[in-house]
Amino acid sequence: MNESKFKPLWSLPVIVAALGYFVDIYDLLLFSIVRKPSLISLGIPEDQLFDQGEHLLRVQMAGLLVGGIIWGIMGDKRGRLSVLFGSILLYSLANIANGFITTVDQYVVLRFIAGIGLAGELGAGVTLVSESLPSNLRGYGTTIIATVGLMGAVVGNLVSQTKFASSSFESWQISFFIGGGMGLLLLIARVSVFESHVFLKSKERKLERGNFFQLFTNRTRLVKFLGCIFIGLPIWYVIGILVTFSPEFATALSITGTVTTGNAIMYSYIGLAVGDLASGFSSQIIKSRKKIVLIFILLTLCFIVFYLFTPIKDAGFFYITCFILGVGIGYWALFVTIAAEQFGTNLRSTVATSVPNFIRGTVIPLTLLFKFLRDSIHQHYSLSLGDINAKNAGMIYGALVVGLLTIVVALIALRLIDETYGRDMNFVEED
């Protein structure tokens, strides 16, 4: 193997982008990990934890939607580095403040602000790295970013479970402080990173950059943009519903033993890292993005059914199903890479930043649909099955319907996008 060929993969932009995504994932998933203990600490009754958790998750995802547009446009207008600095500063300060909250209303405001900040990290990092690496190494670079970054969820769970002696703050509060502190430290490392030469070259041309509405003025661009978004729909269905609310699913599935959201997220994200490595390297070997994404979408379908109808009712085995789910949705790195490769330099950051946040934002309608279905099934069968059994059936079959819908939409969307393996990134979008 020619080691010099792979030397660019260990360049500063790749390393800093990977560390940045690590902190981003830590902070993004931290709310889901500490959802129950934080809400209990704020005095929320047990029977309201699920609904309040869903509401706060939707608020955070709404922030990601807004931030995805803001940071994406800024990345194309002012440069990729401006986004990397601005976004991490915003969400780091918001997470530090999150450790001092005393009411749910404060929680809502800060999760929205943090969501806006968290929206910029991945897209800007992937755009910068995609434009900095040779085309034959691009897939490896984004795979490294995703794999390192996803471990942030593992560290977030371990930190949240750590008992800090002689502290007037609870573990969930200190977890927020640590996340914010890591982000501020990362700003120092970012000082040494240079702007993408592809972006600098595009600035010399007199063309419009970062016009979000330009995505909607051309049918071909619009179809590709929507296709890029919806191929990732199963990913955040799994994370936002099946994994985030795993304790409730464990109850509905009659799992014996204690299941916590933090552990479910940790095991699923280890699986997600494994899947990202497998999908990223496989796409480089067979020289195709779309074929690998198709395989992983179909695997996700199988694993969703396995999770919802698991034959072994043990907490340890349940965590194994979470790991398997993570492997299935392990095409996240390819998903973001495809988005960056579809569009020209003057819209690349806009797309690469907005697409992953739009798909994160689909958690809002997905959770609302899930709530409608589980309540409808519960009410319809409460007399024939009994209240508890009908409620459990609502959880399981409501989730199944939503999951099947995301798979169908993703398969249709995959047909709408281009195969982009090996594409030269030095091009622009013309009207």
What DSSP letter does each residue of 352-385 carry, written as one string? HHHHHHHHHHTHHHHHHHHHHHHHHHHHHHHHHH
pLDDT of residue 345: 80
Q: Residues 191, 321: contact at Cβ < 8 Å? A: no
Band (325; pLDDT cuts 50, 70, 90): very high
- CA 239, 144, 19: angle at the middle one, nearest 5? 80
Integer Cα distance of 171 and 181 in angstroms? 15
- Helix-helix angle 332-342:138-160, to 10 degrees: 140
Q: Phi, psi at residue 256, to the nearest 5°?
A: -90, 145
Q: Which residues of 303-331 are buried (b: 16+ CB within 10 A; e: fewer)?
A: bbeebbebeeeeeeebbebbbbbbbbbbb
CA gyration radius for the chain?
21
Mean per-residue pLDDT, 286-290: 93
End-to-end CA distance of the chain: 44
- CA 394, 396, 402: angle at the middle one, nearest 5? 90
- Per residue in 101-140, pLDDT (tens digit) is 999 999 999 999 999 999 888 888 888 888 888 878 888 8
Mean pLDDT of the chain: 89
Band (196; pLDDT cuts 50, 70, 90): low
DSSP state at residue 344: -
pLDDT of residue 206: 67
Look at domain 10-191+212-414 and name its CATH class.
Answer: mainly alpha
pLDDT of residue 4: 65
Mean per-residue pLDDT, 228-238: 95
Integer Cα distance of 252 and 165 in angstroms? 36
Residue with tokens 């500490």: 34
pLDDT of residue 431: 64
pLDDT of residue 188: 82
Q: Residues 279, 334: contact at Cβ < 8 Å? A: yes
Lowest mean pLDDT among 122-126, 246-250, 281-285, 324-328: 122-126
Instruction: Name, in order, each residue with C-beta under 8 angstroms of 272's C-beta and a sequence gap of 6 or more.
Output: 150, 326, 327, 329, 330, 332
pLDDT of residue 111: 95
pLDDT of residue 380: 87
- Per residue in 406-415, pLDDT (tens digit) is 999 999 999 9
Mean per-residue pLDDT, 267-294: 93
Band (161; pLDDT cuts 50, 70, 90): confident
Residue with tokens 């690998």: 292
- Per residue in 341-366, pLDDT (tens digit) is 888 888 888 888 889 889 988 988 99
Integer Cα distance of 213 and 227 in angstroms? 17
Q: Which helix or strand (DSSP H or E) is residue 25 part of?
A: helix 12-41
Integer Cα distance of 96 and 112 in angstroms? 14
pLDDT of residue 1: 46
Percent share of the chain, pLDDT over 70: 95
Q: Residues 290, 419: contact at Cβ < 8 Å? A: yes
* Model pTM above 0.75: yes
* pLDDT at residue 234 tops 70: yes
Amino acid at the residue 161? Q
Which of 83 and 231 is assigned the larger pLDDT?
Answer: 231
**Where are the chain's structural domains?**
10-191+212-414
